[in-house]
Amino acid sequence: MGMTMTQKILAAHAGLDRVKAGQLIEAKLDVVMGNDITVALAQPVLAKMGATRVFDKEKVVVVLDHFTPNKDITSAMQSKTCRDFARAQGLTHFYDVGRMGVEHALLPEQGIVAPGEAIIGGDSHTCTYGALGAFSTGVGSTDLAVGMATGENWFKVPEAIRFELTGKPGKWVCGKDVMLTIIGKIGVDGALYKSMEFAGPGVAELSMDDRFTICNMAIEAGAKNGIFPVDERTRAYLAEHCAKPYTVYQPDEDAEYEQVIQIDLSAIRPMVAFPHLPSNVRTIDQVGQVPLDQVYIGSCTNGRLEDMAMAASILKGRKVAPFTRTIVIPATQEIYLQCEEKGYLRTFIEAGCAVSTPTCGACLGGHMGILAEGERCLSTTNRNFVGRMGHVKSEVYLTSPAVAAASAVAGRIVDPDEIMGGND
């Protein structure tokens, strides 16, 4: 049998002609990324290993984004640990307040990740970079430390599920709706330690931002990684963002998949995941009356320029509901500037939104949008577990930027067409 995209990348990085599902390998790494939480946690492990230098100062990346700008003394001390580490190691890619962004939007934008690479990150949503045809996955702080010190990690080669995409997404449907549909179909453990590999003619109908969103949420189906083939749209993105040489891997025609799942993009409606699992999905037509205390638009899932544009197109000339506070956070400084240039920031502010510098804070219940007991938030983030954005008795609903923006205006979850009157 042939190999999947993921298996080919892992074989190449393990120095092997071929690998098969379930095989244990040691693979060389192209990028090792950590943030203000996980790099601080990796420090004691590095010390215990006796590691004084990282394996390659060009390939170890540190992004301070989870609790920055620092919200308290504890987060300030964590960040100081990371800053001291980056300075001592002479890291080329160190991103702090004023330069940083939400890590999984920042690394592709800065050309740090590329097709065919093997990438680990001390964050579960590192699987985002599979949108570029890379193998990328999240690891714990111990594995992060080993990767930083040695440039290698061990992996069990995952089985693969092939998602055959056909059709074209309809009005207001984006990558978030596609992935919520898939997770609703297979469940939060439906791809447990498997590679989610996307293929078919429908791939060409998805923007790069759609693909980043889809791969970002592969972990919400339990997957080891998500990955898209490299096509002309990918190459155009890379020509703009990435100067690194790269290798493209395509699956063999006889690659072995655990199953093949057909997804008709034209049949997907705007989706909402109800508390407290990303798999607890309903179409916008099934939602009913759900009033909102807060709407959040941003994160590594939906804080990119297309997301900002979609939200701005709905909020322009409108006001958010008086008791539905709305927070908008562009995912990187560059996206923030583009929003300013295109007039989106003015649109958000005039609509009554709070707009912040890039941070992960609200998504993980850290800062910049914490929920109180009994409050309900509609969010473009990736997780809605109990207490994810604040109090354990709060509720988080997941959706796209279009539904989030329309719902902010209505003060309850609505179809964008209800606000737009059927107009784009």
Is residue 223 located within the same domain as residue 344?
A: no
Is residue 411 located within the same domain as residue 388?
A: yes
**pLDDT, tens only, 69-125:** 999 999 999 999 999 999 999 999 999 999 999 999 999 999 999 999 999 999 999
Residues in the chain, total: 424
Q: Give the whole-angstrom CA distance, residue 241 versus residue 234.
A: 11
Which residue stretches of 65-160 are H helix?
A: 73-89, 103-109, 141-150
Residue 19 has pLDDT above 90, yes or no: yes
Q: Tell me the CATH number at 292.
A: 3.30.499.10
Which residue stretches of 155-218 are H helix?
A: 175-186, 208-216
The residue-averaged pLDDT of 127-135 equals 98
Is residue 279 located within the same domain as residue 325?
A: yes
DSSP type of residue 266: G
List the one residue out of 103, 254, 278 whose CA is nearest residue 189. 278
Among 232, 264, 296, the domain boundary falls at 264
What is the overall mean pLDDT for the chain? 96
pTM summary value: 0.95
Q: Which two tokens stand for residue 371?
A: 């929920």
Token pair 């994160």: residue: 299
Is residue 280 located within the same domain as residue 200?
A: no
The residue-averaged pLDDT of 238-247 equals 96
**pLDDT, tens only, 339-388:** 999 999 999 999 999 999 999 998 889 999 999 999 999 999 999 999 99
The residue-averaged pLDDT of 261-285 equals 97
The residue-averaged pLDDT of 164-179 equals 97
Residue 421 has pLDDT above 90, yes or no: no
Which residue stretches of 15-112 are H helix?
A: 38-49, 73-89, 103-109
Is residue 222 located within the same domain as residue 298?
A: no
Among 210, 234, 264, the domain boundary falls at 264
Is residue 151 located within the same domain as residue 294?
A: no
Is residue 232 located within the same domain as residue 171?
A: yes
Is residue 229 located within the same domain as residue 365?
A: no
Per-residue model confidence (pLDDT) at position 349: 98
**pLDDT, tens only, 172-212:** 999 999 999 999 999 999 999 999 999 999 999 999 999 99
The residue-averaged pLDDT of 206-227 equals 97
Among 264, 292, 311, the domain boundary falls at 264
Other CB atoms within 10 A of residue 393 CB = 12
Is residue 151 located within the same domain as residue 29?
A: yes
List the one residue out of 9, 224, 227, 45 whose CA is nearest residue 147. 45
**pLDDT, tens only, 20-58:** 999 999 999 999 999 999 999 999 999 999 999 999 999
The residue-averaged pLDDT of 288-295 equals 95
Q: Give the whole-angstrom CA distance, residue 334 versus residue 330.
A: 9
Is residue 175 located within the same domain as residue 311?
A: no
**pLDDT, tens only, 3-18:** 999 999 999 999 999 9
Q: Give the whole-angstrom CA distance, residue 237 versus residue 418.
A: 34
Is residue 258 located within the same domain as residue 291?
A: no
Domain count, the chain: 2
Q: Give the whole-angstrom CA distance, residue 80 versus residue 147.
A: 21
The residue-averaged pLDDT of 249-268 equals 96
Strand partners, 194: 159
Residue 153 has pLDDT above 70, yes or no: yes
Per-residue model confidence (pLDDT) at position 423: 53
Residue span of the structural domain in which 197 resides: 5-244+253-264
Question: If DSSP codes are grouped into helix, strand and coil, which group holds residue 342?
Answer: coil
Upstream peptide bond of 401 is cis (omega within 30 degrees of 0):
no
Percent of the chain with pLDDT over 90: 97
Per-residue model confidence (pLDDT) at position 1: 79
Is residue 281 located within the same domain as residue 386?
A: yes
Residue 424 has pLDDT above 70, yes or no: no
